[in-house]
Amino acid sequence: MPDEVVENSEETNGAPDSEESAEEIAEAVKTPPGEDLKEVVESAFPGAVLEQSAYEDDEDEATFVLDVDSIVAVCTHLRDHGDALFKLLTDLTAAHYPEAEDPFEMLYHLYSFEHNRRLRLKVRIKEGRAVPTVSGVWTSADWMEREVYDLFGIEFEGHPDLRRILLPDNWGSHPMRKDYPLEGRGERIYTKPKRKEIGE
Amino acid sequence: MVGVANVSRIEQQSTLHGTEELVINMGPQHPSTHGVLRVILKLDGETVNDLDCDIGYLHRGTEKIGENINYTMFIPYTDRLDYIAAPSNNLAWVTAVEKFFDWEIPMRAQYIRSMVGELSRIASHLLWLATHALDIGAMTVFLWCFREREMVLDLFETAFGGRLTVNAFRLGGLHEDVPDKFLQLTQEFADIFPSRVDDYETLLTNNRIWLQRTRDVGIISAEDAMDLGLTGPIIRGSGVKWDLRRAKPYAAYPYLDFVVPIGENGDIYDRYLVRIEELRQSIYIIQQCLEQLPGGPVSCKTPRTIKPPEGEIYHSIENPKGEFGFYIVSDGTTTPYRVRIRPPSFINLGGLKKLCVGQLVADVVAIIGSIDIVLGECDR
Amino acid sequence: MDMALEVAVAAIKIFIVVNVVQLVVAYMIYVERKVIAHAQLRLGPMRVGWHGLLQPIADGLKLFLKEDIVPDKADRIVFVLAPVMVLVPALVVYAVLPFSATFYITQINIGLFFVLAISSLGVFGVVMAGWASNSKYSLLGALRSAAQMLSYEIFLGFSVIGPLMLAGSLNLQEIVHAQRDVWFVFYQPVAFIVFFVAALAETNRAPFDLPEAETELVAGFHTEYSGMKFAFFFLAEYASMMVISTIGIVLFFGGWEGPDFIPLPGFVWYCLKLGAFMFVFIWLRATLPRYRYDQLMRVGWKFMFPLVMLNIFLTGFLKYLFL
């Protein structure tokens, strides 16, 4: 049974500034998680953070809800600002809440190598509303936005190459929506592809 | 059928302009695309001018399945994502769900989780090395690696009954304690494996042809790697010292000592060296686990029905391929409301175009090998 | 009458050589599979006969009975002709190869020249195969093959000039006789190295197997071939391996002659040397990764070409001084 945690020496440490993160955690007890990041955002875009939350005050679960139109500007700011430096777009996805006023929720999970912390951004949109693409901010968003388009049917404004990625091009519906039936045959508005003849 | 339907952008362009460039279709039945990946290459002679990936042949809607079954039932489904390193996926899922609760996972379970996670890393890296070397033409390494991979799979079989899809962990710990034989065989494996890694290196590391084929090919800078969202050995090969086992420790990793290897140039050779070093570090970790393995129970007391409180969490672990995470939204019922898999292969494959354009066809094969993808997890 | 007898004898000899060559080639594939298998901790063929000894025959039978597919869009005539174009030159060359002091089909005084001339025809078959298949992978394979074989043909040609200058003859028998005392490999080590590398490239063997690189071009120029046509390519590849090894033995290792203190028949010496050559070929395949196309060309033109030219110059200079 180990008595103590192996010291994360500089040599073996994947996370730089472990002392600083300890301070941050101590600070987070007083303020809600992500408060400092909120200040970073608010300093450039006052009022951009519509809501702030975190699951069980976990620093890594800090969540900001943003307005759909400010997403690209805020993301760029968060990527470049020295106190944030969210250089990695860990994940980009969506969730569907059919009963909600804004049924779709875009989710951006960011990670900062320098500060070893995560941040979740949310954008709530109505059906049919296109979201500005963040593929200009992080190239990795290219495929992930294609996947969201494929599975949720959310369109992205300014996306360089918005095609379906996992499903066939002519798949009629978007299976990750909650109203997509789990069994039966009629739900898939699937048009049979016109097969090219060999040599056509 | 999918292939016929997905007439790619490149194919359309090339027919429109009547260009003389050669468009070749690599995959989905190509020996070097490591699964059902279709890469459409636009060639000028043997130089790649443009490429497009067609994926989704293995799409099974795993996320959708996850949203309709309960938390425990989803564990075997995670096996089928990165089926090369199934226990890693189990670990990601169980640690993610456990984040909802304040269970005290027994240390014995944590150590066994780390140990099996490292074994699966070895299994995955061995398969990578085997196929990567085969792609570049060194066919002997392939079978040598499989000898050891077989031993790892035998270990899984001893401990959990399954070989490929092992369903290793449960929420709250393990299903039952591993047999003593498993620990004994693991010790034997840990004793011989380092010399086997030396064997692989004899064939490759200083081989002039191997160096010529991998050095300065498929270079990606640290900045570009971050921009493309590349994780795991690829970003470490580019010199970013970042490993989730250190950055956001889980299981027993806070108590274990290991080095995070990094490369310098970010070429194929550096990624090769990083993974080879990870093989050695994994064995080192396993040896520590065996030495420090505490006794006691292997599972904490968990409720009969797993009902996480309402909320949303994101949790990720260092899979052999990169950051493998789950975003789970719980609505307080027994089934998750939303399950999102953060697939390292999918996102790493997104960087293929950046890596390949301007290289030769033979390099495309080497680069795909060096990214180390698993289509099961890529397509989900 | 004499003429007819001569023709008959020649025909019998040709019949023997061609059939024996086919059989030896089939068993060379078996040996290759066994050797590589043991290098890779496997057993190789074990099921057909004792230690799989009948495997080549089973394989031959299988290839005979396989459906012969000609792709829809292939150029039918060229497609069918290509394997023949590959195999025939590979076999014709055997006409002048000396297997021992007495056993050969014919003896001509431009023997070596004949070998080089005929064996380089094989590349036509490869290019034809790649083109006629009407498949992009095959075409790429054929292009690679053409470029590679043409370039390395040159180094092969230049590398044999050194021994030729020492022997002063193109006749293969006379070259062997000239090495009665010392094998030319000791006089011409550089030429031998270049010759060996060029031989690997000429026969599309690893590490120069780019034209048929399984993991890049699927199978290169013979992707679309099946059944006996595929077998023809296979046979041709191994037959040319044997040819090139024989040339190597004749030029650098004293042909069928062995050291005097070990009394063995000439043919046995030849077989031993051939076996050693083949083993090295197989060994390399099990060990080395594959070169890339541009690297292959760079090695050839920037390294081997100056080397072999220097060798010719030095040989001539030294011969002028000392002989």
pLDDT value at C248 more than 80? yes
**Alpha helical stretches, state H, chain B:** 2-5, 9-17, 62-66, 75-79, 86-98, 107-135, 139-160, 180-204, 208-214, 222-227, 233-237, 244-247, 268-292, 344-349, 352-356, 361-371, 375-379
Residues in chain B within 8 Å Cβ distance of C36: 139-140
Residue of chain A whose alpha carbon sits nearest to that of C71? A198
* Residue B333 CB contacts under 8 Å (≥ 6 apart), including other chains: B307
Return the pLDDT at A7. 45
- Chain A residues in contact with B230 by the CB 8 A cut-off are 140
Tell me if B231 sits within 8 A of B322, measured CB to CB: yes
Q: How far is B206 from chain A (nearest CA, A)?
A: 26
Q: How many CB contacts within 8 angstroms connect chain A with chain B?
A: 144
DSSP, res A174: -
Instruction: Mark out chain A residues that contact chain C at CB-CB < 8 A.
Output: 198-199
> H-helix or E-strand containing B318?
strand B311-319
CA dist B322 → A54, A90, B373 (Å): 25, 11, 10
Q: How many residues does chain B have?
A: 380
Given A8, A91, A161, which is nearest B340 (Cβ)? A91
Contact of C73 with chain A, judged by CB distance below 8 Å, is answered with: yes
Host domain of residue A123:
32-178
Kindly give the pairing relationship between strand B169-170 and strand A117-125.
unpaired
Gyration radius of chain C over CA positions? 20
In chain A, residues with a C-beta closer than 8 Å to the C-beta of B107 are 1-2
pLDDT-above-90 percentage for chain B: 7
Q: Report the b/e string of C61-83 with b at 16+ CB within 10 A.
A: eebeeeeeebbeebbeebbebbb
From B152's Cα to the closest Cα of chain C, the distance in A is 17
Q: Is the pLDDT higher at B355 or at C210?
A: B355
- What's the pTM value of the predicted model, to 2 decimals? 0.83
pLDDT, tens digit, 9 for 90 and up, residues B206-225: 888 888 888 888 888 888 88
Looking at residue C303, the DSSP 8-state letter turns out to be I
* N-terminal to C-terminal alpha carbon distance within chain C: 47
**Distance of residue C159 Cα from the nearest chain B Cα, in angstroms:** 23
* A196, burial (CB in 10 Å: exposed 0-12, middle 13-18, buried 19+): exposed
| Most confident listed range (A186-190, B101-105, B112-116, C4-8) | B112-116
Query: Is A35 or C88 the better-scoring residue by pLDDT?
Result: C88
Q: Do C137 and B24 count as a contact with CB atoms less than 8 A apart?
A: yes
* A195 min Cα distance to partner chain C (Å): 18
Range in B14-18, B168-172, C48-52 with the lowest mean pLDDT = B14-18
Distance CA C49, CA C91 (A): 29
One-letter amino acid at B44 equals D
My answer on whether omega of the bond before B28 falls inside 30° of 0, hence cis, is yes
Alpha-carbon B3 to chain mean position:
26
Tens of pLDDT, residue by residue over A68-111, are: 888 888 888 888 887 788 888 888 999 888 888 888 889 999 88
Q: pLDDT tens for residues A103-132?
A: 888 999 988 888 888 888 889 888 888 888
More confident residue, A190 or C321: C321
Q: What pLDDT does residue C32 have?
A: 87
The backbone torsions φ and ψ at residue C275, rounded to the nearest 5 degrees and listed phi first, read -60, -40
For residue B76, say if its preceding peptide bond is cis, omega within 30 degrees of 0. Answer: no
Contacts of B192 (CB under 8 A, 6+ apart): none
Flag the least confident range among A38-42, A136-140, B159-163, B231-235.
Answer: A38-42
Answer whether residue A185 is part of any domain.
no
Could you tell me the two tokens for C181?
């005392």
Q: Do C40 and B143 touch (CB under 8 A)?
A: yes
pLDDT value of position B10: 53
Higher pLDDT, A151 or C210: A151
Please report, for chain B, the start and end positions of each structural domain, with discontinuous segments joined by +: 54-379
DSSP letter for B299, please.
B
Nearest residue of chain A to residue C74 (CA atoms): A199
On chain B, the residues whose CB falls within 8 A of the CB of A5 are 254-255
State whether CATH 1.10.645.10 applies to domain B54-379.
Answer: yes
C210 in Cβ contact with B137 (< 8 Å): no
ipTM over 0.90? The verdict is: no
To the nearest whole Å, the CA of A199 is away from the closest chain C CA by 8
A75, part of any domain: yes
Using an 8 Å CB-CB cutoff, list chain A residues near B313: 55, 58, 61
Question: Does B269 contact chain C (CB < 8 Å)?
Answer: no
User: Are B280 and B260 spatial neighbours (Cβ–Cβ below 8 Å)?
Assistant: no
Q: How many domains does chain A have?
A: 1
Q: B77-86: per-residue pLDDT in tens?
A: 988 888 888 8
Asked whether the beta carbons of A144 and A166 are under 8 A apart, the reply is no
Q: Identify the pLDDT of residue A191.
A: 52
Q: If pLDDT is split at 50, 70 and 90, which confidence band does B122 have?
A: very high
The residue written with tokens 């200009």 in the block is: A136
Which of B223, B371, B216, B244 shows the shortest CA–CA distance to A139?
A: B223
Residue A193 banded pLDDT, cuts 50, 70, 90: low
CATH of residue A91's domain is 3.30.460.80
Contact A199/B at CB under 8 A:
no
